[in-house]
Amino acid sequence: MKTFVAIFLVAALSFVLGQFLPWWSVAVAAFAVSLLMSRNPLHAFLIGFTGVFLFWAAYAFLIDMANESILSRRVAFLLPLQGNSMLLVLVSGVIGGICGGLAATCANFLTTSGRPRYDHQNYYRKKFR
């Protein structure tokens, strides 16, 4: 449940920040949510990736439908997508998701810096008992 709340918060904060700041504000949103709610680096990446991917793909889809896919079809012909505008929306979402996932992972590494991953002195003693 906490994961779904974090994904929703990333998407909602990305929407709010995207109204006032440039495109990279989605990374700020994923970073902020991951500072508060992530457990490990993989969890942080998945939260950031999924939240930003859902927001960015949905937003690109709405913009694409508003202009009847005129521009996205032309851009898709320039890229190796054979004019498929939905594939362009998915590629855009994946790029945004990677940006959000990396920002969330950086925040998780920032919160766990300075803490050892295991007890260096008693590692083998505990392992072979």
How do residues 82-101 score in pLDDT, each as one tens digit?
888 889 899 999 999 999 99
Predicted model pTM: 0.82
> Stretch 45-61: mean pLDDT, rounded?
93
**CB of 86 closer than 8 Å to CB of 75:** no
Binning pLDDT at 50, 70 and 90, where does residue 127 land? low
| d(C-alpha 78, C-alpha 125), whole Å | 61
Structural domain boundaries of the chain?
A: 2-113
d(CA 83, CA 6): 35
- 83: tokens are 């004019």
Examine the pLDDT at 103 and tell me if it is beyond 90. Answer: yes
